[in-house]
Chain A
Amino acid sequence: MDRRAPLGLMTVLCLGIAFLYIPMLVLIGYSFNASSLVSVWGGFSLDWYVVLFHNRQILQAAWLSLKVAMIASSIALVLGTLAAVALVRFSNFRGRFLLVGMANAPLVMPEIITGITQLLLFVSMLKLFGWPGRGMTTIVISHVAFCCAYVTVTVQSRLASVDRDLEEAAMDLGATPFRAFVDTTLPIISPALVSSWLLSFTLSLDDLVISSFVSGPRSSTLPMVIYSKVKLGISPDVNALASLIICVMGFIVLVAGFLLHRAERRRERDIQLAARMG
């Protein structure tokens, strides 16, 4: 039987991919538009990129967003990996049910509800303990909470597929459980760690709704600034900014994906080689 899809299906696939990409490509194209009228082509220019790099508000917001994304995704990586280890390796402990629920709920919880409830918590905590004031700290905390869920789910599935023989062999040779984990299992799950850190980073960098609730008056993240500008209508400097973000993120993800893929291939080759030699 012919495994290939008929022409009609291939057309739908191509149209669907075009549907996904055309709006972004058009946006990038128009970011080089000399005209300040966004729907009229007035020739090629880099003016809007120059305007962008002189906008203090945008630069400050971008710096804040980068800091938040760096810190939040790193903390989320640690907490999420710990949660994944707990869920995969410890079959039953007090609070397991709770941890499973809390590690998965942020994935399905509407962001707007997470945002409101966390703000109410921060406000009540501030009244009771005088901490945390709304600003970068609160944004980082809420981003860690939802990024943690993505890390846990990603690392959990990878960890579940790891053969424990190697780790037990290391322990038989006298390594402490921690040492054995770090030396044998950690390298195997490292692709999952890298990709979940990257995913957390992009999700944090992109978050508008939760940040809007928990941020303070002088701590606007980049998506918040973009959103407030977009609300007033399409503007050419936002086009430039959006193109920049889309291209940089796309590039990082492609490079990371390529490197991870290559590392994985090499590992598979090593395993085959080892099997043949043994």
Chain B
Amino acid sequence: MYTASRADWGGHKDPVERLTKVLTHSMQAVPGLPQAFGRRLGRWAIILPPLLFLLVFFLIPFGFALKISFAEAVLRIPPFSDVWTVTPEHRLVFTPSLANFRYLLTDEVYAVSYLYSIKTAFVSTLGCLLIGYPMAYAMARASKSTQHLLVLMIVLPFWTSFLLRVYALEGIIRDTGLLNQWLLSVHLIEHPLKILRTSAAVYLGIIYSYLPFMILPLYATLEKMDLSLLEAAQDLGSRPWRAFWDVTLPLSMPGVIAGSMLVFIPAIGEYVIPALLGGPDNPMIGRILWDEFFENHDWPVAAAVSVAFLLLIAGPMAIHQYYRARDLVS
């Protein structure tokens, strides 16, 4: 009777090893060219789908916005004039109009709302920083197991729903909301505070919605910080507050900057918060854009506002990023 022995596997200890040897040999037998070709094909099969999708549905739309910002509003579907047309003689005729951009410069609503958006984003970012820093600091000093729980508690609201959280806040700060009911009942105030439909409500809304974005990067830098530096400062006679100012704060600057960017950038273009919590005196650029589009149905002006807004916001930021990247490289 025949029994399989190790010798049948070519004297190798285990089948995998033998298999490997066979396969390596067969791989070497394949000519180099098709293999390299196959690898390159595989590479492009990975790169192309996301590249093409984002190109067509994210980048190219900006080209269309740019084109339509030079069109004029007309009553038809879609409601804008052609920037270029092909005549029956197959000639391309350009008819760009600068009227929209001229309008942006002459109607002061746009300049006012642009400055107001920057101011609102700035004040709210500062508010987030003032509330978020001590919170992140306390988290970083908590015990390891508590830290996990605290991070979860800070992140959880972000995972639920942005729109519904703004709505929940609206319920609290209304004239008849719980905040005013409580303040009246403890006789801190005589008349309900008017918060809703003011700038304060917009600030509060942005702080409420974006606080986790400020806390997490701050916590990440503070948690990694070397406490021996603080100890050294205190050993050398620094008071705790002084040690914080001279040592902790400068070292946590990367977190401060990252957190501030994460709050400031989305806050400038915010629509939902000023629309639900703000009043007519809170003309954030997002609202102006929305109204231009849905109320006035002036698509070309809306496109022009978007283009101008992008140039004014994204332009400086891209340059900033470029120089920062260059500094890091050199």
| Contact A118:B61 (CB < 8 A) given known A39-B176, A99-B54, A234-B171 | yes
Whether a CB of chain A sits under 8 angstroms from the CB of B43 is yes
Query: Is the CB of B218 closer than 8 A to any CB of chain A?
Result: no
Known: A82-B49, A173-B16. A102 touches B58 (CB 8 A): yes
Given known A-B contacts A9-B138, A249-B161, A27 and B317 have beta carbons under 8 A apart: no
Decide if A70 is an interface residue (CB 8 Å cutoff).
no
Decide if B94 is an interface residue (CB 8 Å cutoff).
no
Closest beta carbon of chain B to A108's beta carbon, Å: 5
- At the interface, yes or no: B309 with Cβ under 8 Å from chain A? yes
A24 on the B face (CB < 8 A): yes
Smallest CB gap from B60: residue in A: A121
Within B131-165, the residues touching A (CB, 8 Å) are 131-132, 134-135, 137-139, 141-142, 150, 152-154, 156-157, 159-165
Dominant SS among interface residues on chain B: helix
Chain B residues within an 8 Å CB radius of A78: 49
Q: Within 8 Å CB of A226, what residues of B?
A: 163-164, 167
Check B299 for interface membership: any CB of A closer than 8 A: yes
> A86 CA to B43 CA in the complex, in Å?
8
Q: Does A213 contact B (CB under 8 A)?
A: yes
**If the complex has contacts A95-B47, A123-B78, A253-B159, are A23 and B172 also in contact, measured as CB distance less than 8 A?**
yes
Q: Does B84 contact A (CB under 8 A)?
A: no
* B230 on interface, CB distance cutoff 8 Å: yes
Q: A177–B17 Cα gap in the complex (Å)?
A: 19
- By a CB distance below 8 angstroms, the chain A residues around B57 are 118, 121, 141-142, 144-145
CA distance in complex: A174, B20 (Å): 6
In the complex, are the beta carbons of A27 and B289 less than 8 A apart? no
Q: Which residues of B contact A42 (CB under 8 A)?
A: none
Contact present for B19 and A16 (CB under 8 Å)? no
Which residues of B have CB within 8 Å of A99?
47, 50-51, 54
| Neighbour of B64 across the interface among A121, A145, A249, CB < 8 A | A121
B272 at the binding interface (Cβ < 8 Å) = yes
Residues of chain A within 8 A of B161, CB atoms compared: 202, 205-206, 242, 245-246, 249
Residue from B132, B137, B286 within 8 A of A110 (CB atoms): B286
Residue B206 lies at the interface, judged by CB distance under 8 Å to chain A:
no
Whether B42 is near chain A, meaning CB under 8 Å from some CB there, is yes
State whether A5 and B137 are in contact (beta carbons under 8 Å apart), knowing that A26-B178, A83-B50, A173-B16 are contacts in the complex: yes
Q: Which residue on chain B has the smallest CB distance to residue A174?
A: B23
Please indicate the chain A residues that have their CB under 8 angstroms from the CB of B23 in the complex: 173-174
How far is B303's CA from A208's CA once the two chains are assembled, in angstroms? 19
Shortest distance from the beta carbon of B121 to any chain A beta carbon, whole Å: 11
Question: Nearest B residue to A178 by beta-carbon distance?
Answer: B42
Q: Which residues of A contact B178 (CB under 8 A)?
A: 26, 39
Query: By the criterion of a CB under 8 Å from any partner CB, how many residues of chain B are at the interface?
Result: 90
Residues of B within 8 A of A114 (CB): 58, 61
The B-contacting residues of A in range 73-102, CB under 8 angstroms, are: 78-80, 82-83, 85-86, 90, 93, 95, 98-99, 102
Q: Mark A2-21, 1 if CB is under 8 A from B, else 0.
A: 01110001101100110111
Q: Which residues does chain A contribute within 8 Å of B19, judged by CB atoms?
A: 173-174
- Contacting residues of chain A (143-157) with chain B, CB-CB under 8 angstroms: 144-145, 148, 152
A187 interface hit (Cβ, 8 Å): no
When the two chains form their complex, are residues B163 and A116 in contact, meaning their CB atoms are under 8 A apart?
no
Which of B131, B168, B230, B290 sits near A24, CB closer than 8 Å?
B168
A246 proximity list for chain B (CB < 8 A): 160-161, 164
The answer for the CA separation of A114 and B109 in the assembled complex, in Å, is: 22
Q: What residues make up the interface of A, taking CB atoms closer than 8 Å to B?
A: 1, 3-5, 9-10, 12-13, 16-17, 19-24, 26-27, 30, 38-39, 78-80, 82-83, 85-86, 90, 93, 95, 98-99, 102-103, 105-106, 108-114, 116-118, 120-121, 123-124, 127, 141-142, 144-145, 148, 152, 172-174, 177-178, 198-199, 202, 205-206, 208-209, 212-213, 223, 226-227, 230-231, 234, 238-239, 242, 245-246, 249-250, 253-254, 257
**9 A-B pairs whose Cβ atoms sit less than 8 Å apart in the complex:** A13-B139, A20-B153, A39-B176, A90-B43, A90-B46, A90-B47, A103-B54, A226-B163, A249-B159
Chain B contacts to A: CB under 8 angstroms: 16, 19-20, 23-24, 27, 39, 42-43, 46-47, 49-51, 53-55, 57-62, 64-65, 68, 78, 131-132, 134-135, 137-139, 141-142, 150, 152-154, 156-157, 159-165, 167-172, 174, 176-178, 181, 208, 211-212, 227, 230-231, 234, 265-266, 268-272, 275-276, 286, 289-290, 293-294, 299, 302-303, 306, 309-310, 313-314, 317
18 new A-B pairs (CB below 8 Å) besides A99-B47, A112-B290, A113-B309? A12-B138, A20-B154, A20-B212, A24-B164, A79-B49, A79-B54, A80-B50, A90-B43, A90-B46, A98-B59, A99-B51, A113-B269, A120-B61, A121-B57, A206-B161, A227-B163, A245-B164, A249-B159
